Amino acid sequence: MVMSQYQWDVFISYAHEDRAYVNQLAHALKSAGLDVWYDQFIMEVGDSLTKKINEGLARSRFGVVVLSLPFFQKNWTQVELAALLNREEGDQKVILPIWRHGAYSYIKESAPIFLDRVALDSTYESIETTAKKIIKAVKPELSQNELDPKQLELKIQSKPFVLLPCHPSDNRVVALSRYPVTNKEYQKYLEELSVKDKEHIKVCIILQFRDYKPSISFEEPIGKHFDGKHWKGPFKALQDNRFDAPEQPVVNVSLFDAFAFTRWLNKKNSNANYNFIITTPELWDFASFGSQYPDQNPQSWINSMKSIHHQSTAPAIISNNGERMNSLGISDMFGNVWEWCLHENRRPAIIMAESSYAKAELRGGSYLDDLNKTSPFVNASSLTDHVSTRHTDLGFRVAVVIQTNALDKKLLEYMWSFEFSVENIVGFDW
């Protein structure tokens, strides 16, 4: 068969039990520019399964075969495998095998011929890595045209956000603000609040934190400052030249203040595709470590950043030169200011049960801390004033839940290439 007769670059052969994995892989390959024969892309109501599969097997240059125990237990997957094997003549490579969980033991005992092939192993390689290796084998020229990670950047209401590398769930993705909320942003919020806005936000806070008496302030942040030995106040950070720069993170804000800010953003936002929330601990951990289960070793976060602002006397202004950004391009995840995180971000009507401060945590450490010694994980219940605490080392950043129809088509395809589902890392009922 001459090259021009091929319609697809790869045919994906798999068992139904592996569909969740294959679906992500297929989208990753397609988004990179491969023509993919995947039944969920090809099949339409009324199509002949046999005809379509035969066509795909004959007119695809390569066969990506996802080998698992269910794969070897089904007749039709064996037929697809045999058809692809029959196309291999001499040194012509057609089959690109992927081992799934438990496949190696079965192959060793029942199909040892595959032990001679270099295979990809889903146990040790992410979908993104697997896709890159397949692309390199099929169309190496596409390996030079990977989507720049900077394309995960978004601007919403003129504020920079970074999409978290997770595939969509329920037509939604999540982005985290590149920087903590600044004095400039917070002052704009205070200046633009109307009486109606304040009443609306008060109702939202009372419903959200119905088990706790929230202290709500719509005035200049006033809290406590650490003098080297004790926290003392009242302290007006915006009237102190160590803390008042427009591009410094706002401090002296409680969890309620942070929540009120997100309610204002949502009320101000006329685009129903965006919903602003306080960052959850799970989102913060994933954005910082790429995992919901972060390493507790201090060196794992010290070494993850080019620079960290800690062991100082005041917060640093937000950095635009990348020196305090992590691999995702998110700044100051460690150091500068502690950040409020809220476990519960569901609709107020269904917030019930345990105390609010048990649902809140702090993340990241601050300019005051030595992060070589201080853990960047603190439960709000350990604070003297719990979720009402307003200290000069305590700020926040926001996240935004985004409907996928607001994303560029190519970017959306790219989001499907990531291994984790956003539903599994958001930290609240999706």
Q: What is the CATH number of the domain that holds 381?
A: 3.90.1580
**Residue 20, in any domain of the structure:** yes
247 is catalytic: no
Residue 91, pLDDT above cutoff 90 = no
Name the token pair of 193.
């609040």
pLDDT over threshold 50, residue 353: no
- Co-location of 243 and 295 in the same domain: yes
- Asked if 398 and 276 touch (Cβ cutoff 8 Å), the reply is yes
Tell the burial category of 118 from Cβ atoms under 10 Å away from its Cβ (0-12, 13-18, 19+).
Answer: exposed
Is residue 50 exposed (0-12), middle (13-18) or buried (19+ Cβ within 10 Å)?
Answer: exposed
Residue 430 lies in a domain: no
Number of domains the chain contains: 2
52 pLDDT higher than 90: yes
From 124, 145, 166, give the residue that closes a domain. Answer: 145
Residue 419 is given by DSSP the state: S
Rounded CA-CA distance 230/234 in Å is: 13
Rounded to 5°, angle at Cα 120 from 116 and 124 = 125
pLDDT at 254: 94
Identify whether residues 124 and 232 lie together within a single domain. no
173 within 8 A of 164, measured Cβ to Cβ? yes
Same domain, 161 and 141: no
Q: What is the 3-state secondary structure (H, E, C) of 326-384?
A: CCCCCECCCECCEEEEECCCCCHHHCCCCCHHHHEEEECCCCCCCCCCCCCEEEHHHCC
Considering the domain architecture, whether residues 407 and 343 belong to the same structural domain is answered as: yes
- One of 17, 44, 55, 80 is an active-site residue; which one? 80
Q: Tell me the CATH number at 93.
A: 3.40.50.10140
Mean pLDDT for the chain? 85
Residues 308, 326: one domain? yes
Instruction: Decide which of 145, 168, 185 is a domain's last residue.
Output: 145
40 in any annotated domain: yes
Last residue of a domain, one of 145, 175, 204: 145
Q: Domain containing 421: what range?
A: 152-425
Residues 357 and 383 in one domain: yes
* Least confident window among 62-76, 201-215, 345-359, 373-387: 345-359
- Tell me, yes or no, whether 189 and 299 share the same domain: yes
When pLDDT is averaged across residues 37-47 and rounded to a whole number, the result is 91
